[in-house]
Amino acid sequence: MFITKLLPCPNARILHNTKTKTLLNGLLLNTYLAKSYCSNPKNDKGTLAKASRQTEVNTEVRPLGERLKENTKTASYMGVIVLGAGVTGLMFYTIFRELFSSKSPNGVYSAALDKCIKDYRIEDSLGAPIKAYGEETRRGRRGHVAHTTYIKDGVPHMQMMFHLQGIRNRAQVRLEVKENESGNWEYRYLFAQLEDYPKTTIILEDNRHQKQNSATALGLS
């Protein structure tokens, strides 16, 4: 009866020969296998999930040499960043020390300029407002303030020269400082020479013939 249902025509007669039996047996076997496979879809899903997990594991696992190479590269980048930060910090420290330290040429210049501008004799001779500048180049450009440092009898000294200009006249300022027992600069001399004729010299400090303890300090720590 089951074989008859599989045939195109139920009333068809079955030929009882060897070839017919072989064909029918193969047809029955294929039909049974198809029904068994379709009736259990969990096997297919489980197989796919297992294959997917194996693929993921194989993808995430990397060779030891590759991981060591990546860690070495990361450490190199961190070393470069730390080195760059150190160089930047040293640069800012040097700039800060040069601009704001009283021991620097810029600190000596700022203190001397402030002392000159506050002197009423210079203000009357030059005329306010007064501005300062360094040496002039051949092209007429005003450069940095000229200064020289040297050691005499084991004591650091610094000489400096700059210019003042007011609305009526100009003057050339010369000074020399030396390090005292406290490690601070103090004036040996500070004077401004007017450029008019006859040239007049305004002396603000002159401690060249005095002892070191009685000399006037710059007033900066």
Q: Where are the domains of the chain?
A: 105-214
Q: Quick check: 113 pLDDT over 80? A: yes
pLDDT of the residue at 199: 84
The pTM (predicted TM-score) of the whole model is: 0.52
Neighbours of 190 (CB within 10 A): 24
59-104 pLDDT, tens per residue? 556 677 777 777 787 877 788 888 887 877 776 555 555 555 557 8
Q: Which of 187, 156, 185, 160 is closest to 174 using CA atoms?
A: 160
Cα torsion 119, 124, 130, 132: sign: negative
Q: Which amino acid is at 135?
A: E
For the chain, the distance separating the N- and C-terminal CA atoms, rounded to the nearest angstrom, is 118
- 186 within 8 A of 157, measured Cβ to Cβ: no
pLDDT at site 93: 55
Taking the domain 105-214, which CATH number applies?
Answer: 3.10.450.320
**Among 2-16, 77-91, 142-156, the least confident range:** 2-16
**Residue 161 in contact with residue 173, Cβ under 8 Å?**
yes
The confidence band for 9, taking pLDDT boundaries of 50, 70 and 90, is very low
d(CA 30, CA 48): 24
| DSSP for 154-165, written as a single string | TEEEEEEEEEEE
Mean pLDDT of the chain: 74
pLDDT confidence of 140, banded at 50, 70, 90? low
